[in-house]
Chains A and B, each alone.
Chain A
Amino acid sequence: MRQASNLLRGVACAVGLCLSGTAAQAAPTVEVLHWMTSGGQAKAMKSLKDDMESQGGKWIDTPVGGGSSEEALTKLRARVLGGDAPSSVQLKGPLIQEWGALGVLQPIDDVAAAGKWEQALPKSVAATMKYKGQWVAAPVNVHRLDWMYANPAVLKKVGITMPATWEQFDTAAAKLKAAGITPLAHGGQAWQDASLWEVIVISVGGPAFHQKALVELDPKALGGETMQKVFDRMRKLRGYVDPNFSGRDWNLATAMIMNGTAGFQIMGDWVKGDMTAAGKQAGKDYVCANPPGTDNAFLFIVDSFAMFKSKDAERLAGQKLFARLLMEPRFQENFNLAKGSIPVRTDMKLDKFDSCALAASEHMAKTVKSGGFAPSAIHDMAVPMAVKGAMTDVVTKHFNSDMSSAEAARRLADAVKLARE
């Protein structure tokens, strides 16, 4: 395989030599700042690098370890302040707009037009990739946040099925509790509390309420009665969690599903990546379903790479090549198989994907039409980070204390207002 790609690179170089004469050693170069460093993700990035090199490009890898965006964004700030921005950075949602407003992003309209991106992507995804109507970023995947997982063996043992309403969920939880099984596997970290909350917001209030409260940040919706109902539901779910949940990582909660000590987990589809890594099969060892009330909803998280301006011709060429490769079906397939998400292109064959991914893809097509395809606020797709942080604070405080729902809704409206000013 490596020999083949080396050969290809050789051929590509030779062709380049013939065509461009003296400018031969000028290879299109791209420097990619990212934090996809865990097993499956690193593998996916490697396939992208190989693609790039087989086309005669040069790849400069700038990974930031730890799997979180904070250090990478700090590094990006320093690089941009120093006038030496990397060609491409893993960025998403409103952050693309924030960087766009600083005038440091590179439009790639020609690549998007040539690849017919507009037709291949859902409208709301395309909108987040553009700054003032110009394409400045390329998307690589769609994660769905509102998923519910269960272990079929456990369900069978206590004689329940996947609940479709919250009343059914309550009944199922009572049965699980009676059998000595934790009804809800949850990790007690602030972002996990907030993720669960966002699922409940769209489940109890519906996509229109989610849009009004968590995207448009309407104070009445944030502090109103529907929001109080959301917090009522959160309080109930709190009673289904085992006492040791504080500080637990999400993958430890997933392990509780796998080894049968817990009934359900409500969490994004990265859970699937972990299940697959543990050798579990969708439909057999675990099942996935829409959480109650989310049949017409899809909370999406789209990972993407934004392009940064450069004066260097080689870097600009490399950037364009890189953007083109990102959107090619071949990469979309390799990358998403490794990451547990689904391709962002709606025009792809999904033969190699599992039943959960196929269900997600179908659901995405349905909700894009119905208007339930909603950006996740807690996962940086809809609101600035300060607002997301303010929401997270209130939600986690409510979940970890005996605060009343009315108080929580009032504090939510206040905190969001303060963060927006």
Chain B
Amino acid sequence: MAPARRWLQHNLSALIMAPTAAVTLVFVYGFIAWTVYMSFTGSRMMPVYELIGFDAYTRLWQMERWGVSIRNLLIFGGLFMVLNLALGLLLAVLLDQRIRFEGTLRAIFLYPMALSFIVTGTVWKWMLNPGLGLERSVHLLGFTSFKFDWIIDPDYAIYTIVIAGVWQTSGLIMAMFLAALRGVDQDVVKAAYMDGASMPQIYWGIIIPSIRPAFFSAIVVLAHLAVKSFDLVIAMTNGGPGYATDLPSIFMYAMSFQRNNIAVGSATAVMMLCTVMAIVVPYLYSELRPGRRHD
């Protein structure tokens, strides 16, 4: 009785985690492996299991539209992450000044996250449409020279997606930073204040460096949101005008499910996985290396 009980006590957490681990192994890593395998076959409408090498990848990189979606990912992903981090941090710092109605304001800023990207996309689509939204309203006010038609301009349409994306996500990033700011040791801040440091100096020199882990979480969240973003673009521009706002996720969907080209679709998915790994793995390594952390 006693040894069994002790064994159970010792292994209880492992036992409880086992089903989850098994499911994750199959449905995450198993399917990643399957996708990688598919990308080396000549699968078209249905999966075939005969390996033919790098054909799907060469085909992929020859496609002009793939080039456009990669370029768009760099523009969208870069701006989306930088603007979200900057805006989220700024909002968090301002909210951290012990102001009145903080709870209300926090709810207001966090609220966009409660909407789905489809809703956000549709609303922004209408607001930015020159014949319906912002441009027309300003015209009706009498300023007829006002022009804001980015959403129908192939060169600028991708930036409208950034605007909508940042509007949606910056509240969440703010909440993450705010939680981290509240965890900063107030004694250190007070000590710095005694030494005559100004508020900006304290933030820049002490507080922000001490919330590094929050930056880490925010970057991981933002990077994967950027790479997998799909519904926002579908709702706002459906990849258009033409395919000017195409992203790898949309390209992958088109290849796998609209054009019966599973091999190229899988190759696209693998490229997307590599992109995320290229950002996250070095960062993970530098952050989690033992001995690197001072605190």
Contacts and interface: CB of A to CB of B under 8 A. Distances in A.
Interface stretch (A313-321, A338-346, A360-368, A393-401): A393-401
Interface in A186-216: 188-190, 193
A151 B241 CA distance: 28
Pick the most buried of A80, A98, A385, A388: most chain B CB atoms within 10 A of its CB.
A385
B240 interface: yes
Contact of B151 (A77, A246, A385, A388): A246
Interface in A398-421: 399-401, 411, 415, 418-419, 421
Contacts of B244: 400
Interface in B44-64: 44-47, 59, 62-64
B203 to A, nearest CB: 43
Interface stretch (B88-96, B178-186, B220-228, B254-262): B254-262
A190 B131 contact: no
B240 A400 contact: yes
A253 to B, nearest CB: 13
Interface in B121-142: 125, 129-132
Interface string A75-106: 00100110000000000000000110010000
Nearest to A394: B64
B149 interface: yes
A385 B258 contact: yes
A411 B64 contact: yes
Interface residues of B, number: 32
A137 B260 CA distance: 21
Contact of B242 (A99, A388, A389, A397): A397
A272 B111 CA distance: 43
A247 B258 contact: no
B62 A244 contact: no
Given A385-B259, A397-B242, A244 B65 contact: no
Nearest to B65: A393
A244 B242 contact: no
Contacts of A348: none
Q: Which applies to chain A's interface (DSSP): helix, strand, loop or mixed? A: helix
Interface string A98-131: 1100100000000000000000000000000000
B205 interface: no
Q: Which applies to chain B's interface (DSSP): helix, strand, loop or mixed? A: loop
B149 A189 contact: no
Contacts, number: 84
Interface in A360-400: 384-386, 388-389, 393, 396-397, 399-400
A421 B60 CA distance: 12
Contact of A247 (B59, B241, B243): B241
Contact of A244 (B44, B152, B238): B152
Contacts of B261: 386
A285 interface: no
Contact of B238 (A189, A399, A401, A415): A189
Contacts of A73: 257
A246 B152 contact: yes
A246 B47 CA distance: 36
A247 B242 CA distance: 9
Contacts of A243: 130-131, 149, 152
Nearest to A69: B258
B154 interface: yes
Contacts of A401: 154, 242
A259 interface: no
Nearest to A68: B258
Given A193-B242, A385-B258, 16 more contacts: A81-B46, A102-B46, A188-B241, A190-B239, A242-B131, A243-B131, A246-B237, A384-B260, A385-B259, A385-B260, A386-B261, A389-B258, A393-B65, A393-B243, A397-B64, A419-B259
6 contacts: A102-B46, A188-B240, A389-B259, A400-B240, A400-B242, A415-B63
